[in-house]
Structure 1
Amino acid sequence: MTTFLLVIIYLAFISLGLPDSLLGAAWPVMQSDLGAPLETAGFLFMAIAGGTIISSLASGKVLNKFGTSKVTTVSVLMTAGALLGFHFAPSAVWLFVCAIPLGLGAGAVDSGLNDYVATHYKAHHMSWLHCFWGVGATLGPIIMAQFISEQSSWRNGYFAISGIQFALVIILFITLPLWNRVTSNSNIILKEDPEDSKGEFYEEDAKDIKPLQMKGVKLSLATFLFYCGVESTVGLWGSSYLVNVKELQVALAAQWVSFYYAGITIGRFITGFITFKISNLTLIRMGQIIVLVGAVLLFFPLPSTFSLVGFIMIGLGLAPIFPCMLHETPTRFGKKHSKTIMGYQMAVAYTGSTFMPPLLGFIASHSTIGIFPFCIGVLVAAMLLSSETLNNTLKRKSLLKKKDTISKVF
């Protein structure tokens, strides 16, 4: 019974990833069809992400009042209706109207399912959960590319994804009673505490310190900001870069962007295994370096095949960074403040997703989309600098604590 419900939750997270990559894949065609400026996609992305932030902040009270199962069902229904609205939208203005329920629904699903899995299942299931988001994000551009290449219709692509979402709504509605049975089952497997979440740096001395005043917290927030800026910017503008600079066909560009999301998906699946052998800090550093190399491949005037390799490398490099950074939170800042800091990190992450892609779109509209790889490289370098500065700050903190302990002994 718990396994069956877990399958349903994984399906819901696939549906969460499906719409995330659609706009970037379809925008080169949508832009000409609707007669909209290039930067409109960035503002649409901002509207969707803004709704996600709002619903995430309000999700705690809503989930406590109505329960995860009902909130998830209604939220998926909202996203299905919004995607159907994209299909019928006569102008860009209506896309903005539909972007509101799309963002609100996505944020509630994300927060609700993450909380449910974290509470009722073992930790490794969380890694697979985010892997299934990547499955949806990978399938989205593939489905859209199929409709664009065969029917030259981005609208039918949105209609197909909407149909998948409505099918999931029916499944969720039928399985509503299952959630309560699983929750009340005394044999349910609860989440275990991670072995390395001892909070060695702040468990003793952070009792009277506000989270934002703790050393390293702001650097951690900056790392999340730049990470999500890279991930969302590549997803939104990658296709436009390939079409306008590398002169690829729209359908082929959408397929190549799907390889980027496939890199994230496969990378996170593999990361779930190699975390037993390699530390989170090493995985984060290795991932950032791989992303930087991928951005360099896009920057130089190489044959278009190297662009595909670059997108795949960026996806593979991004894969371990986000989950490993989240997993390090209790270790870095202690259990007492980990929940609060985790909330700050997610809020800043959504902020990066909200503002970084529109910023690139605005700059590109006044120059050229050819600045895309340069901007990605700058964001990755900033993320690497913030992350390494954070590591050094916490390392110095640890050494000072050890010296104080030794001095007290002698």
Structure 2
Amino acid sequence: MFMMFAMTSDSVGEIIKEVKVAFSVTNAQASLMHSLPMLGIAMSGLLLGFLADKFGRKNTIILGLAVFGVACYSFMIANDFVLIVSLMTLSGIAVGVFKTGALALIGDISSSTRQHTSTMNGAEAFFGVGAIIGPLIVAYLIHMGVAWQWLYVIAGGVCTLLITIALFVQYPSYKKSHSSEVEKVSVKQSFALLKNPYALGFSIGAFLYVAAESAIYVWMPSYLVCDATSVKATYDCYTSSTAQTLAIYSVTAFFILRAGGRFVGIWMMSHFNWALVLAVFSGAIVVCFVGGLLGGKQVALFLFPLSGIFMSVIYPTFNSKGISCFAKHQHGTVAGVILFFTAAGAAAGPFIMGMVSDVMGGDAKYGFMVATVFAAILFAGLLYNYLFNPTEQRLKEIESQEYGSH
């Protein structure tokens, strides 16, 4: 499911290039293909996250997948810009439903909070794989003269297979401690969680992380190009053919390093203090961003994609530890709250960076300065988390209550 979602969401840059030509839309209009699905995920996570707790993980996942599948297959008849954006928005809403169900399910199949974090890194690793193969599929389809809409048809086929599997797989039951608590599961509880320091802390962390990460796949190509005023991207300012190739495929290199890092993260989170790993890695991201800005394009060419390794474990761990601070019957709801802030960061981050760059003359480096500020605030928060460990007692309580560890 994570891979299928990433196949479509992280291909939007390649798709926007085709849609702008086909429908003669402006950059602002084309950007709706990214921002509206993110808004759909955000609102779905916040307003519908409780479904996984109220109606069960299996029913929620199948519902989300069914809506996503309908949206995907509908792209076969999508020949109007408004319809395309509408279907993308509907798919975003569906993602918010099945992803909160999947995130809650991870808690049900985990035997400890530590295993929960490792499993979460594994799930997000497949998201990283989807982020790599999605744009490659779109590029191949276009090269072969096939409409990009077939990417969604392929995703719809995967979705149909996932629904079939979900129908026949026996899902584990999750603990409903008190009937009164379960009855309270609703949209109102989602808003109540916004005041909870654990939910809010990890949610703000997710927002900052995603805002910084999005600078890479949204603005790095604009920063690395040699002549930003040229209609066609040029890379002749790089002295070697290897450097030019890396500049062209820098985003792919970033996604490959991020995906590989997440598989390594499964092992790291099982053997090391998660708070220390996040503090060190977030500091390394700041170093990569600052180094890439001070050293210019020739240095950023290597440091910006390299940041993918250090970004790899941060978001899955935020998700895992944030969810693990709550009882299992609240996992879907809190996952939805974190997902809301995640999608908000993905939508707001690039937009803010773009506005700052425009005000400063259009140079993408100013957008990266904003991203560096996001990364620095994130590092400060994670350093505080390591030094003072505010979640230690809460995680121990949940470990004892929900996972039977004493």
TM-score by length of 1: 0.72
1:44-77 alpha-carbon deviations (Å, 9 max, x no partner)? 3221111112322314337717814531431331
Offset from partner CA, 1:111-138 (integer Å, 9 cap, x none)? 1222233324553433211111111011
- Does 1:264 find its partner at 2:258? yes
Given that 1:13 and 1:133 are in contact with CA atoms closer than 8 Å, whether structure 2 keeps it comes out as yes
The one-letter code of the counterpart of 1:77 is G
Distance in structure 2 (CA, Å) of the matches to 1:231 and 1:308: 16
Give the whole-Å Cα distance in 2 for the aligned partners of 1:396 and 1:64.
29
2:13: which partner in 1?
Answer: 24
Q: Please point out which of 335, 341, 347 is paired with 1:348.
A: 341
Give the equivalent residue in structure 2 for 1:51.
40
Match of 1:166 in 2: 156
Structure 1 residues 284, 25: closer, same or farther in 2, change over 3 A?
farther
Mapping of residues 78-89 of structure 1, within 5 Å: 78-81=70-73, 84=76, 88-89=78-79
Residues 106 and 393 (structure 1 numbering): CA distance in 2 closer, same or farther, change over 3 Å? Answer: same
| Distance apart, 1:281 and its partner CA | 1.0
Indicate if the aligned counterparts of 2:70 and 2:156 stay in contact, CA closer than 8 A.
no
Is 1:75 the counterpart of 2:64? The answer is no
Residue of 278, 289, 293 corresponding to 2:287: 293
| Residue 274 (structure 2) pairs with residue 280 (structure 1) | yes
CA distance in 2, matches of 1:369, 1:30: 25
**Which moved further from structure 2: 248-257 or 127-136?**
248-257
Letter aligned with residue 247 of structure 1 = T
Distance 1:175 1:329 in 2: 28
Distance in 1 between residues matched to 2:24 and 2:51, nearest whole Å: 41
Which position in structure 2 is the counterpart of 1:178? 168
User: 1:359 Cα deviation (Å)?
Assistant: 2.3
Taking the aligned partners of 1:311 and 1:167, their CA distance within structure 2 comes to 35
Does the CA-based 8 Å contact 2:353-2:368 persist in structure 1? Answer: no
* Length, aligned pairs only: 354
1:60 aligned onto 2:66: no
Counterpart residue identity of residue 237, structure 1: W
Q: Cα gap change, 1:253/1:397 in structure 2, threshold over 3 Å: closer, same or farther?
A: closer
2:373 aligns with: 378
Q: How far apart are residue 363 of structure 1 and its match? A: 3.4
Contact 2:16 2:33 in 1 (8 A): no
1:263–1:315 Cα contact (<8 Å) kept: yes
Tell me how far 1:375 sits from its aligned partner: 2.2
Q: CA deviation at 1:320?
A: 1.2
| Identity in percent | 16
Please name the residue that 1:226 is paired with. 208
- Taking the aligned partners of 2:348 and 2:8, their CA distance within structure 1 comes to 18
Structural RMSD (CA): 3.8
For 2:404, the equivalent position in structure 1 comes to none
Of 217, 220, 234, the match for 1:238: 220
Q: Secondary structure at the match of 1:67?
A: helix
C-alpha spacing 1:171/1:216, structure 2 compared with 1 (3 Å): closer
TM-score normalised to the size of structure 2?
0.73
Q: Secondary structure at the match of 1:368?
A: coil
Tell me which residue corresponds to 1:313. Answer: 306
Contact 2:276 2:386 (C-alpha < 8 Å) held by counterparts:
no
Q: What's the offset of the Cα at 1:394?
A: 4.8
Within the candidate set 121, 128, 135, 2:129 is matched to: 135
Q: Residue 90 of structure 2 aligns with which residue?
A: 101
Alignment partners' CA distance in 1, 2:174 and 2:210: 30
CA drift of 1:96 comes to 2.7
Q: 2:162 is aligned with what amino acid?
A: L
Counterpart-to-counterpart distance in 2, 1:271 and 1:397: 20
Name the CA shift for 1:298/1:141 in 2 (closer, same or farther; >3 Å): farther
Whether the 8 Å CA contact 1:82–1:101 is kept in 2: the answer is: no
Aligned pair in 2 of structure 1 residues 308, 80: CA closer, same or farther (>3 Å)?
A: farther
Q: What residue in structure 1 maps to residue 140 of structure 2? A: 146
